[in-house]
Amino acid sequence: MTVQRIHHRMVDLVQAEGVDTLFGIPDPSFFGMFIEGQKRGMEIVSPHHESVAAMMADGYYRMCGKPGVICINKGPGVANVASGANYLKKENIPAVFIMAQRHRLYEQRVRRGMTQFMKQPPMFEGVMKYIGVVEYIEQLDEVFQEAFRQALSGVPGPTYIEIPLHIMQGEIDLPPVLAPNRYRLVNQQAGTDAIAEAVTILTNASHPILLLGQGAMASRAHDKVIALANKIGCPIINTISVEAVLEGMDDRTLPYGSASASELVARADAVLAIGTEIGEAMHYGRGRHWSKGKTDRKWIYIEQDPTAIGVNRPIDVPLVGDLRAVVPQLTHALGDFQGQLPLDVAGFVAAHQAYKDALVAKIPNNSSPIHTGRLAVEATRAIPANSVIVRDGGAASMWFNAALMMNPRDAMWSSNYGAIGTGLPYALGAKLVVRDTRPVVVLTGDSSILFHISELETAVRKNLPVVIVVSVDYAWGLEEASYKANFGPDTPIPEARWSRTVRLDKTAESFGAYGEFVDKTEDIAPAIQRALASGRPALIHVEVDPSINSSFAEVPGFAEFRTWYGEETDNLSPLVNKGGDPDGSKGKSSGSGY
C-alpha cells in the first residue's frame, strides 16, 4: 500500500491497459496527469478542438488496437467533445473519456450563474456505453475498470468517467492496479460445439467466402485472418468499411458491390463474417446481391456481442468471443484441412481490375482543368505502396475510392457515421502509431479539410508529417449536385460555393507545414514527391473541374450507394443517378465497390 496523488493513480490505471497516449487540451484539472504521464514516457497530444481529440483517438485505435483515453475540461470542453463521442459510438471505437467537473459542492448549492458549470452526464445519455461519476476517492479504481470493461466488451464504444475537482486534488492509499485479466474477460474464445459446427460447414462447403469488416482490421488481427483465409482457401469480400487488402491476399480480395464480388456472393454456399455488423451497406446480408444464387447459404458469424446474433439476418453458427482469440481458435480446429482457392477466382479479380482500367481510360487526361478522377489516378500512382490511406469527403472521396491505383495495407474512412472532416484527425492518430515507418496520406476534398485545418499546427508541433492531397472545387460538390437534381440545373443555389481566392497551400504554410498549389495534371505526382521528401506535414491544393463533382451522373459508385442508403430516400426519384439502378430492380451491380 502506497499513498498516491490521484493523478498518479489515474496514469497507473490507463497504463495497465497498455495505453501509451493521452489526448486532450491542457487544463488545470489534468496538469498533474499530463505531467506524470509525460515523465513515464507517454505521448500527450493536444489538438485545437476537443472533438478532434476523439477523432485522433479513432485513427490511433485503428492502427494499434489500443483504446483511446481522452481528457476533457469541464463545461464547454465537455460540451465540445460530445460530437466526437458520437463519432466513436457510430464507428464502434473503444475509448474512455475522462471528464473534469467543478467541485461537487457547486452542484448541491442553490445558485444560478455558476461559471463553467452544467450537469454533464445527461448530454451523453444514449451515446456512452457507461457513465460513471467518482463521488468518493475509494471509487476511482472500480469506475476506471468498469469504463474500460464496457468500452472493450461487446460492441466496442466510448465510455464516460467524471471526476470532480475535489477528487482530482485528493490522495489515495490502495494496492497496485490490477492487470486487465484480473477484473474483466479478455481473449474470450467461442464455445467448442459452435467451433466444431463451423468446421463442418467450412470443410463441406464448395464455395465458401470470407466477409471482412472493419473490426478485423481495427483490432489488428491481420495475420490471424490471413492464416484463416489461407487455411480455408477462400476469396475475401471486403465490406465497404474496408478499403485495405491484407498482405498476400491481392489474388482473392474484392470489394462488396463490385460485379465480380456479386458473382462470388451469388454462388457462395457458406459465408464466414468477421468484424462486421452485416448492416445497411451490406444490404443486411439478405437483399440485393445476397438474394441471388444460393440463398440458402450457411452463415458463420464471429461476433463479440451476443445480442447482435440474428438481428439483421439469421445466423447458422454464432462464434461469440474476441475475434483475436476466435479466429486462431477456428484455424487450429480446422486441423489438417487445406482448402484450395478456386482457379476462377483469379478471373474474377482480373475482371474487376479490367473494370477499373476501363473507368480510368474514360477519365479525360487534359492538363487543365483537372478532372477529379484524373487527380485520383495520378495521386494514388505517386503514393508509396506502404502508405496508410485516409479518405475523406463527398464526391472527391468517391473518386479517390473508385480510381485508387494501389492496394493499401491499411486504410480508413468514416464509413458507419458517414461524416466528413475526419481525415486530418484520423491521419494524425494513425501517424502517432506508425511514426517514420510508413507514410500516412489523406485524400480529401476542400469542404472536408476546412473542418479542422487548424490541426495542421498540431501536426507541425508534434512532428507528424502527414501528406494531404486536397481536391479543390470551391464548393459543396455533392450538395450542389443534389440542388440541381431536385430543383433543376439553372436554379440559384444558396451557399453551395465559396470564394476562389481561398488558398489552402498558403494556409498550410502559415502553420509551418509544406504547401504547394497545383492546377495542371502533369504537376500532381511531382508535387506529391516533393511533399513526401519535405519531411514535414504537407498540403497540396489541387484545382479540379467543379462541374465533375456537382453531377451525380459523373460520380462513380452513386448508383450502388443508392441501393442501400436509407429506405426513406428510396422514393426521391429526382436524386436518382441517370442511367443507374437505384432500387436494384435490374439485378446488376454498378461494379464500383463504393
- Name the domain boundary from 182, 211, 240: 182
Cell for 388? 496508410
Bridge partners (DSSP) listed for residue 467: 441, 538
Q: Looking at the 3D structure of the chain, how many domains does it have?
A: 3
* Domain-embedded: residue 23: yes
One domain for residues 123 and 210: no
Distance from C-alpha of 519 to C-alpha of 185, rounded to nearest angstrom: 55
pLDDT exceeds 50 at position 575: no
Q: Is 515 exposed, middle or buried (0-12, 13-18, 19+ CB in 10 A)?
A: buried
Output the nine-digit C-alpha cell for 267: 454462388
Torsion of CA 311, 317, 321, 322, to 10 degrees: -90
The residue among 124, 148, 182 that closes a domain is 182
- Give residue-wise pLDDT tens across range 361-390: 999 999 999 999 999 999 999 999 999 999
**How confident is the model over 474-507, as pLDDT tens digits?**
998 888 888 888 888 888 788 888 888 999 999 9
φ, ψ for residue 481, nearest 5 deg: -60, -40
Residue 444's domain comprises: 363-556
Does residue 196 share a domain with residue 155? Answer: no
Backbone angles phi, psi at 171, to 5 degrees: -125, 160
C-alpha cell at 297: 447459404
DSSP of 257-306:
TSHHHHHHHHH-SEEEEES----GGGGGGTSGGGGSS-TT-EEEEEES-G
Non-local CB neighbours of 94 within 8 Å, separated by 6+ positions: 61, 67, 68, 88, 151, 152, 156, 157, 158
Pick from 62-76, 108-122, 154-168, 377-391: least confident:
108-122
Same structural domain, 388 and 445: yes
- Is the domain of 266 the same as that of 158? no
Instruction: Indicate whether 145 and 34 sit together in one domain.
Output: yes
Give every CB contact of residue 525 below 8 A, 6+ residues apart in sequence.
Answer: 378, 379, 381, 382
Q: What is the pLDDT of residues 180-211, one digit of tens each?
A: 999 999 999 999 999 999 999 999 999 999 99
CB 254 within 8 A of CB 348: yes
Asked if residue 579 has pLDDT above 60, the reply is no
Single pTM value for the model? 0.93
Here the CATH number for the domain that contains residue 524 is 3.40.50.970
Q: Same domain for 444 and 552?
A: yes
Q: Average pLDDT in the 275-284 region?
A: 94
Q: In the predicted model, what is the mean pLDDT of the chain?
A: 92
Q: Beta-carbon neighbour count of residue 368 at 10 Å?
A: 13
Nearest to 138 by CA among 6, 7, 11: 6
Element (H, E) at 189: none
Q: Could you give the CA distance from residue 418 to residue 94 in angstroms, rounded to a whole number? A: 18
Residues 93 and 176 in one domain: yes
Based on the fold, state whether residues 337 and 483 are members of the same structural domain: no
pLDDT tens by residue, 527-569 = 999 999 999 999 999 999 998 988 877 778 877 887 887 554 3
Residues 513 and 384 in one domain: yes
| Largest distance between two CA atoms of the chain | 76
d(CA 307, CA 214): 19
User: Distance (Å, rounded) from C-alpha 92 to C-alpha 89?
Assistant: 5
Report CA torsion sign: 501, 506, 508, 510.
negative
Residue 565 lies in a domain: no
Smallest CA-to-CA distance from 238 within 219, 256, 261 is with 256
Closest residue by Cα to residue 542 from 456, 434, 467: 467
Amino acid residing at 417:
Y
Structural domain includes residue 208: yes
Whether the predicted pLDDT of 263 surpasses 80: yes
pLDDT at residue number 581: 37
Same domain membership, residue 177 and residue 197: no
Considering the domain boundaries, does residue 484 fall inside one? yes
286: pLDDT strictly greater than 90: yes
pLDDT reading at 583 higher than 50:
no
Angle at which helix 31-39 crosses helix 6-15, to 10 degrees, equals 50
Q: Is residue 327 part of a domain?
A: yes
Reported as a single tens digit per residue, the pLDDT across 404-428 is 999 999 999 999 999 999 999 999 9
Instruction: Report the Cα–Cα distance between both ends of the chain, in Å, rounded.
Output: 56
Query: Domain with 196 in it: what CATH number?
Result: 3.40.50.1220
Residue 37 buriedness (CB in 10 A; 0-12 / 13-18 / 19+): buried
Residue 521 located in a structural domain:
yes
The residue assigned the cell 448549492 is 109
Q: What is the mean pLDDT of residues 104-113?
A: 74
| Stretch 231-246: mean pLDDT | 97
Structural domain contains residue 582: no
Asked if 144 and 216 sit in the same domain, the reply is no
**Dist CA 280 CA 276 (whole Å):** 11
Q: Could you tell me if residue 129 is inside a domain? A: yes
CA distances from 442 to 169, 425, 526 (A): 41, 10, 17
Rounded percentage of the chain residues whose pLDDT exceeds 90: 81
pLDDT at 578: 38
Domain match, 402 and 539 both = yes
- Residue 209 carries which DSSP code? E
Please give the average per-residue pLDDT across 389-405, as a whole number.
Answer: 94
User: pLDDT class for 590, splitting at 50, 70, 90?
Assistant: very low
Cell triple for 377: 489516378
Query: Of the residues 318, 347, 376, which one is the last residue of a structural domain?
Result: 347
- Give the Cα separation of 43 and 156 in Å (integer): 23
Q: What is the mean pLDDT of residues 31-48?
A: 96
